C-alpha cells in the first residue's frame, strides 16, 4: 500500500491511498472460494456449485465488500502510522482521473478528513471566576411556606369591587383602529389580579370593578410584545366582569402539613422537611451557576478551533433532540428545522468537550466509584425510598455513565477553582429561586 499525506488547512488533511489490484483480486477469489462451500443453488448439491456461477452471481457484491474493507483497513493503518487523530468521519472517494493516468495495477483513493486540534490548557491562575453564594435563613423558609399556601388558595364569590389577589372572570375584546384582532378577545377568561399574567394596564382596568360592571379602556402594547401584529400599537378594549372571587389561604395547621406529605401533621417536621428541600435546591442551583462560570471561563481562556465535522455532527444531534422534544409534546414537525439556529450552541458544546477531555486526561480527573455513589445517594435522599432509587441507577449502565459524566464535571470545577482567582458573589435567595 502506497500512502501520501497532504495538509489542506489548519485541521484538514488528505491521504492518497493506492491499493494493489492483485491484493484485491486475491481476497475476492479467497472469499468466493469460501462461499462456494456453503452456497445453495437450484440443481446443485451444497458445495458443488461451479465457481464460475458463484463468481457471476456474487462476484460484484464480494468485490465491493473487499474494496470497502481494504480502504478502511489501509486508511486506519495510514493514520496510525502518521499519528493522526481523526475527528469525525473521513470522506473517501476514488482519485479523480485528472490527477493521474488510469492504472489497472492499483485502486487509488483520496481520503479527506479533519484531525483533532492540539489543546494547551496553560496556567489557570489568571482565570477570574465569580463563585455564587446564597444563605438560607428562617425568613426564606417562612416565605417558602407562604408560597406553598398561596399555591393552595381556594376562591369564593365576593360581593364587592375587585382588589389585588382576587380572581376575576371577564369577557373582553380589543380592536386596533376599529379592527378586532386575533387573540384580542375571550369569554369567561379568568386571572388573578397582581399575579402578573396580564399586562399591567389590563389588570389596572379590571381592579375596582364589581360583578356585572363594564368598561372601555385603551391599552398600548409593548414594542417587544410577542404578538407582532399589535406590538407597539394602542388597542381599545371592551371588558365586562362576570365574577369576582376572594382567595382564602389554607390554615397553617396539621391538616396543611398532612397535605404536604407529613403523615403525623407535625408542623415542626414540615418546616424541617421544607428546609431540607430548599437547601438541596439552593445547593443544586448554586452548583449549576458555579459550573457554568467555570465552563465559560475555560472557553474564554483556552483557544480552540473545533473541527467543523464535529460541529456538524453536534448540530445533527441537537436537531434530532429538538424533533424528539417536539414529538413528546405532541407537536407535529412537518417543516425542516433550520440548522443555523443550532450552529453557535453546537460549536460551544464541541469546544467545551475538547477542552474538558484534555483537562481530564492531563490531570487525571476521571470519575471515581465513590464519587458516583455519593451523587446517587444525594439524589436518592429526595425520594420516599432512597434504596430503590440507588438500585434503579445501578441497574442501567447508561444511567451510571450519565452520573459519571456529572462526577467528571465536578472534578473539573474543583480543579479549576483551586487554581483560579475566585471571588464570592452573593445572590439573594429570592433572585436565585426565581431563575430557571
- 3-class secondary structure per residue, the chain: CEEEEEECCCCEEEEEEEEEHHHHHHHHHHHHHHHHCCCCCCCCCCCCCCHHHHHHHHHHHHHHHHHHHHHHHHHHHHHHHCCCCEEEEEEEEECCHHHCCCCCCEEEEEEEEEECCCCCCCCCCCCEEEEEECCCCHHHHHHHHHHHHHCCCEEEECCCCCCCCCEEEEEEEEEECCEEEEEEEEEEEEEECCCCCCCHHHHHHHCCCCCCCEEEEEEECCCCCCCCCCCCCEEEEEEEEEEEEEEECCCCCHHHHHHCCCCCCCHHHHHHHHHHHHHHHHHHHHHHHHHHHHHHHHHHHCCCCCCHHHHHHHHHHHHHHHHHHHHHCCCCCCCCCCCHHHHHHHHHHHHHHHHHHHHHHHHCCCCCHHHHHHHHHHHHCCCCCHHHHHHHHHCCHHHHHHHHHHHHHHHHHHHHHCCCEEEEEECCHHHHHHCC
Cα-flanking dihedrals φ and ψ of residue 220, to 5°? -100, 120
d(CA 290, CA 409): 11
Taking the C-alpha atoms of residue 56 and residue 22, their distance in angstroms, rounded to an integer, is 19
pLDDT at 329: 81
Q: How far apart (Å, rounded) are the C-alpha atoms in residues 289 and 147?
A: 24
**How many whole angstroms separate alpha carbon 256 and alpha carbon 262?**
9
Which residue spans of the chain are classified as CATH 1.10.3120.10? 292-434
Q: How many other β-carbons are positioned within 10 Å of the β-carbon of residue 34? A: 11
Alpha-carbon dihedral sign for residues 140, 141, 147, 149:
negative
Cβ neighbours, 10 Å, residue 183: 10
Cβ count within 10 A of residue 279: 14
User: Closest by alpha carbon to 115, among 134, 87, 89, 80?
Assistant: 87
Using alpha carbons only, give the angle 268, 272, 274 rounded to the nearest 5 degrees.
115
Start-end ranges of CATH 3.10.50.40 in the chain?
153-248
pTM: 0.75
HSE-up of 235 (CA within 13 Å, CB side)? 25
Q: Regarding beta strands 421-426 and 128-133, do their DSSP bridges make them parallel or antiparallel, or are they unpaired?
A: parallel
Query: Dihedral (C-alpha) 86, 91, 95, 97: value to the nearest 10 degrees?
Result: -150
For each of the chain's 436 residues, which pLDDT tens digit applies? 566 778 888 899 999 988 899 999 999 999 999 988 888 888 888 778 888 888 888 999 999 999 999 999 999 998 998 899 999 999 999 887 656 545 678 888 999 999 999 999 999 999 999 999 999 999 999 999 999 999 999 999 999 999 999 999 999 999 999 999 988 999 999 999 999 899 999 999 999 999 999 999 999 999 999 888 899 999 999 999 999 999 999 999 999 999 998 989 999 999 999 999 999 899 999 999 999 999 999 999 999 999 999 999 999 999 999 888 888 887 777 778 888 899 999 999 999 999 999 999 999 999 999 999 999 998 898 788 999 999 999 999 999 999 999 999 999 999 999 999 999 999 999 999 987 5
Strands 154-157 and 106-115: unpaired
Count of CB atoms situated within 10 Å of the CB of 342: 20
Predicted pLDDT of residue 38: 86
Q: What is the per-residue pLDDT for 99? A: 61
Instruction: Return d(Cα 291, Cα 293) in angstroms, integer.
Output: 5
pLDDT in tens, 38-64: 888 888 887 788 888 888 889 999 999
**What are the cell numbers at 153?**
388558595
Q: Determine the pLDDT at residue 103.
A: 61
In this structure, what C-alpha cell is assigned to residue 415? 480543579
The residues of the chain that CATH labels 3.30.70.1050 are 2-115
End-to-end CA distance of the chain: 58
Domain 153-248 has CATH 3.10.50.40: yes
Distances (CA, A) of 175 to 111, 179, 332: 64, 5, 32
Q: Please give the CATH architecture assigned to the domain spanning 292-434.
A: Orthogonal Bundle (1.10)
- What is the architecture of the domain spanning 2-115? 2-Layer Sandwich (3.30)
Distance (Å, rounded) from C-alpha 405 to C-alpha 372?
A: 9
Q: Cα–Cα distances in Å, from 94 out to 5, 22, 294, 365? A: 16, 18, 46, 43
Grid-cell match 481562556, residue found: 301
Amino acid at each position: 500500500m502506497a500512502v501520501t499525506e497532504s495538509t489542506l488547512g489548519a485541521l484538514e488533511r488528505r491521504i492518497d491511498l493506492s491499493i494493489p489490484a492483485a491484493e484485491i483480486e486475491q481476497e475476492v477469489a479467497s472469499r468466493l472460494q469460501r462461499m462456494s462451500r456453503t452456497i445453495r443453488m437450484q440443481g446443485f448439491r451444497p458445495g458443488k456449485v461451479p465457481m464460475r456461477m458463484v463468481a457471476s452471481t456474487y462476484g460484484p457484491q464480494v468485490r465491493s465488500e473487499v474494496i470497502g474493507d481494504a480502504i478502511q483497513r489501509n486508511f486506519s493503518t495510514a493514520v496510525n502510522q502518521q499519528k493522526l487523530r481523526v475527528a469525525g468521519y473521513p470522506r473517501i472517494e476514488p482519485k479523480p482521473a485528472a490527477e493521474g493516468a488510469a492504472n489497472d495495477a492499483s485502486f487509488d483513493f483520496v481520503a479527506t478528513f479533519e484531525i483533532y486540534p492540539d489543546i494547551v490548557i496553560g496556567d489557570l491562575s489568571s482565570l477570574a471566576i465569580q463563585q455564587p453564594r446564597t444563605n438560607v435563613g428562617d425568613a426564606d423558609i417562612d416565605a417558602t411556606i407562604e408560597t406553598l399556601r398561596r399555591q393552595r388558595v381556594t376562591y369564593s364569590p365576593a360581593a364587592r369591587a375587585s382588589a389585588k389577589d382576587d380572581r376575576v372572570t371577564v369577557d373582553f375584546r380589543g380592536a386596533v383602529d376599529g379592527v378586532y384582532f386575533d387573540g384580542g378577545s375571550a369569554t369567561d377568561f379568568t386571572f388573578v389580579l397582581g399575579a402578573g399574567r396580564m399586562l399591567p394596564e389590563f389588570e389596572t382596568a379590571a381592579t375596582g370593578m364589581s360583578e356585572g360592571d363594564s368598561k372601555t379602556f385603551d391599552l398600548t402594547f409593548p414594542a417587544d410584545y410577542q404578538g407582532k401584529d399589535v406590538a407597539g400599537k394602542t388597542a381599545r378594549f371592551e371588558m365586562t366582569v362576570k365574577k369576582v372571587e376572594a382567595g382564602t389561604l389554607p390554615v397553617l395547621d396539621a391538616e396543611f402539613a398532612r397535605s404536604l406529605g407529613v403523615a403525623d401533621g407535625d408542623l415542626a417536621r414540615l418546616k424541617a422537611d421544607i428546609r431540607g428541600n430548599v437547601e438541596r435546591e439552593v445547593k443544586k442551583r448554586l452548583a449549576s451557576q458555579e459550573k457554568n462560570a467555570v465552563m465559560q471561563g475555560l472557553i474564554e481562556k483556552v483557544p480552540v478551533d473545533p473541527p467543523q465535522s464535529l460541529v456538524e455532527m453536534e448540530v445533527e444531534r441537537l436537531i434530532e433532540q429538538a424533533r424528539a422534544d417536539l414529538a413528546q409534546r405532541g407537536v407535529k414537525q412537518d417543516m425542516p428545522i433550520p440548522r443555523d439556529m443550532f450552529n453557535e450552541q453546537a460549536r460551544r458544546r464541541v469546544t467545551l468537550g475538547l477542552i474538558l477531555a484534555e483537562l481530564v486526561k492531563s490531570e487525571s480527573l476521571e470519575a471515581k466509584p465513590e464519587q458516583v455513589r455519593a451523587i446517587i445517594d444525594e439524589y436518592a435522599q429526595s425520594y420516599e425510598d432512597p434504596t430503590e432509587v440507588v438500585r434503579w441507577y445501578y441497574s442501567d449502565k447508561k444511567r451510571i455513565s450519565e452520573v459519571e459524566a456529572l462526577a467528571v464535571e465536578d472534578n473539573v470545577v474543583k480543579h479549576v477553582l483551586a487554581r483560579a482567582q475566585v471571588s464570592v458573589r452573593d445572590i439573594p435567595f429570592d433572585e436565585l429561586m426565581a431563575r430557571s
